Amino acid sequence: HSHAQPRAVAKQAIPGIGAIVAVASGKGGVGKSTTAVNLALALQANGLRAAVLDADIYGPSLPRLMKIAGRPQQIDGRIRPMENYGMKVMSMGFLVDEGTAMIWRGPMIQSALLQMLREVAWGDLDVLVIDMPPGTGDVQLTLAQQAALAGAVIVSTPQDLALIDARKAVNMFNKVEVPILGIVENMSHFVCPNCGTSHDIFGHGGARAEAEKIGAPFLGEIPLDMDIRLNSDAGTPVVVSQPDGPHAKAYKEIARKL
């Protein structure tokens, strides 16, 4: 359509960054940040130069998930990203104290986000993974429109409620013509460590069915697993702490499909 061209031009690609991929969810607590971090590390393990940006301004979790503390330094007037596990990371959590409530209004948040995108010395990257804020508000829309996204990965649990919200996220990206790279079903099933039986705590297969319905690729399932939770919260994501384990393998397979 006639408006497509100017909008594409208005999107400002970031020099040196091959592709920007958003990891999004319709609601919080579905494991979006855990997925974003492990996917970025999986992309890196697959041989790509990857970095991750925490756009979750109100609840930044990347400092904890990546076990990074301290303040970023400036170089040549730009912000030097923090780094762990060989991966560059930027988060509002490095700029404000943990526990400090963010009381910013929309425009301030938008400019902070765009600054983290454009004024950080990311260097040459094949892919920058953005851990999006949950939901489909103004901030998400701005980022989707202005970050020149190559596409979005939607994370959902198999649960109906989470899926309804995931659908809203898909609609938002469709509206701004950001391709949906696919859907990941997180907390897909639980394998009992004692008896080995698989339990579908939040149901199972909902995300796959949803992906089919909207014509988006189904990227894979990640089980509900104690190891994922413990390592996530300890800042030792499974892709780096258990590189030969089944979860690392699953994330790397998903990363290959992006």
Query: Which range of residues in 42-50, 69-77, 220-228, 236-244 is near ligand ADP by CB under 6 A?
Result: 220-228
Closest CA to 184 of 137, 221, 142: 221
Which member of 78, 204, 229, 249 binds ligand ADP (CB under 6 A)?
Answer: 229
Which member of 21, 22, 25, 84 binds ligand ADP (CB under 6 A)?
Answer: 25
Nearer to ligand ADP, 79 or 143 (CB): 143
Q: Cβ–Cβ contacts within 10 Å for residue 195, how many? A: 8
Q: Is 31 one of the binding residues for ligand ADP (CB under 6 A)?
A: yes
Q: Cβ–Cβ contacts within 10 Å for residue 248, how many? A: 20
Was 28 annotated as part of a binding site?
yes
State the Cα–Cα distance between residues 122 and 35, nearest whole angstrom: 21
Which member of 233, 234, 256, 257 binds ligand ADP (CB under 6 A)?
Answer: 233
Query: Which range of residues in 30-38, 42-50, 91-99, 121-129 is near ligand ADP by CB under 6 A?
Result: 30-38
Query: Which range of residues in 100-108, 161-169, 210-218, 224-232 is near ligand ADP by CB under 6 A?
Result: 224-232
Was 29 annotated as part of a binding site?
yes
Nearer to ligand ADP, 87 or 228 (CB): 228
Query: Which range of residues in 26-34, 43-51, 116-124, 173-181 is near ligand ADP by CB under 6 A?
Result: 26-34
User: What is residue 137's three-state secondary structure?
Assistant: coil
Q: Is 225 one of the binding residues for ligand ADP (CB under 6 A)?
A: yes
Q: Is 28 one of the binding residues for ligand ADP (CB under 6 A)?
A: yes
The beta strand positions in the chain, using DSSP E, are 17-24, 50-54, 74-75, 78-79, 82-84, 87-91, 125-131, 151-156, 180-186, 190-191, 198-199, 218-222
Closest CA to 99 of 68, 63, 65, 66: 63
Residue 157 DSSP class: -
Was 61 annotated as part of a binding site?
no
Are 21 and 127 contacting, i.e. CB atoms less than 8 angstroms apart?
Answer: yes
Extract the annotated binding site for ATP. Answer: 26-33
Extract the annotated binding site. Answer: 26-33
